[in-house]
Amino acid sequence: MSVPAGLPEPEVLVHTGGRAGFLTLNRPRAINALTHAMVRRIDEALTAWEDDPAVTTVVLRGAGERGLCAGGDIRAIHADARAGGTATLDFWRDEYRLNARIARLAKPYVAFMDGIVMGGGVGVSGHGSVRVVTERSRVAMPETGIGFVPDVGGTWLLGRAPGELGTHLALTGTQAGAADALLTGLADHFVPAADLPALAAELTRLPAAEAVARFARTAPPGELAGQREWIDECYRADTVEEIVRRLGDSGIPEAKETATVLLTRSPTALKATLAAVRRARTLDSLEAALDTEFRLSRAALRSPDLVEGIRAQVVDKDRNPRWTPPTLPEVTEAATESWFAPLPEGEELGLTPPGPAGS
């Protein structure tokens, strides 16, 4: 795609080649962080390709060398939250609907999860039918560090990870490399980063499964498989306080370090996240999880911790957030439960009909 001189490049490059339609997230200086316009453009492309017999495979990539997508544009979210605006809710509404659409796409959706893939980046890749990681992949839902909760279907994905591995990733925001992403069900195949251009070329002429099989290899060893025993034992506790206590008392250095990490996260976000992941395990669809996450995201947008967390991590970068309330015992069960309360009429995301699955 050529761009006339003087005009900025599109934030999403859209083109077809052979039998494939290519979506390239194109904000490399921001590690391709998602904007509302990008979400809309992806959705428009999927609409155009869904019934186009010439396009049999959709391929998602990220421009630059740093990663597929670092998540949503949290500076914009910070500004909107401080101003009490509605732009963020409008963005999330369309983003979550796109996440559900990707999961239900009738054609293979091949996501190149190379480099950094976090938050909203997981949303546009982790629900695809063919998810490819590389030795450079760092897949994470790091929301509790900014006073937020895993969204974009993250609770659905992490709630289905083996044992309590998903709980660990959700609460800590730990980055999963290739092997760990495969183990936890966040990805399907490992392909060396150097082979991605050749894989993209093959996808223009071969069925997705056949093309990926030509390049798939065994991923280098990860970390979570060797940590599974203490993770399952500690994270099966019913409360965040008990999880932290078990981690600290385990006698295992990695577990004790994890307890220290958790105590730096937003107490409110930790409790909402634990409840959300546990509830997601009982739901029968991604759409139901997204409906719940929309409620949680709306509550987070109106809480002091999201603005404070983004300030500390991204705006001022002092890495010293002042959470409200500051400790886990001060976050009551009633306060956590209020985040899950039904929204006023007309304000729900509404991907599922009213009833137990969507409530």
**What contacts 33, CB < 8 A, 6 or more positions away?**
27, 69, 70, 71, 72, 73, 74, 120
* SS3 label, residue 345: coil
Task: Confirm if 118 and 144 have CB atoms less than 8 A apart.
Answer: no
pLDDT tens figures, 146-196: 999 999 999 999 999 999 999 999 999 999 999 999 999 999 999 999 999
- Phi/psi for 13 (5° steps) reads -85, 125
Q: Give the predicted TM-score (pTM) of the model.
A: 0.95
CA distances from 102 to 98, 223, 240 (A): 6, 29, 32
Instruction: Place 145 in a pLDDT band, splitting at 50, 70 and 90.
Output: very high
Instruction: Place 359 in a pLDDT band, splitting at 50, 70 and 90.
Output: very low
pLDDT attached to residue 355? 58
Residue that is written with structure tokens 């997508």 in the block: 69
Task: Confirm if 53 and 19 have CB atoms less than 8 A apart.
Answer: no
Decide if pLDDT at 4 tops 80.
no
pLDDT attached to residue 98? 98
- Worst-scoring range by mean pLDDT, 72-81, 167-176, 193-202? 72-81
What string of DSSP letters covers 86-138?
A: SHHHHHHHHHHHHHHHHHH-SS-EEEEE-BEEETHHHHTTTTSSEEEE-TT-E
pLDDT tens figures, 276-289: 999 999 999 999 99
pLDDT attached to residue 150? 98
How many angstroms separate the CA atoms of 56 and 129, rounded?
13
How many angstroms separate the CA atoms of 321 and 47, rounded?
42
Residues pairing with 113 in the sheet:
133
Decide if pLDDT at 2 tops 60.
no
Task: Confirm if 110 and 58 have CB atoms less than 8 A apart.
Answer: yes
Average pLDDT value over all residues in the chain:
96
Catalytic annotation, residues: 72, 120, 143, 151
Q: Give the max Cα distance, the chain.
A: 62
Helical H runs in the chain? 36-50, 74-83, 87-104, 120-123, 154-159, 165-172, 178-183, 196-203, 208-215, 224-235, 240-249, 253-262, 267-280, 286-301, 304-310, 333-338
Short-list 291, 146, 164, CA closest to 237: 164
Question: Which pair of structure tokens corresponds to residue 19?
Answer: 């039998």
For the CA atoms of 205, 208, 209, 215, what is the dihedral angle to 10 degrees?
70
Short-list 102, 32, 37, 42, CA closest to 69: 32
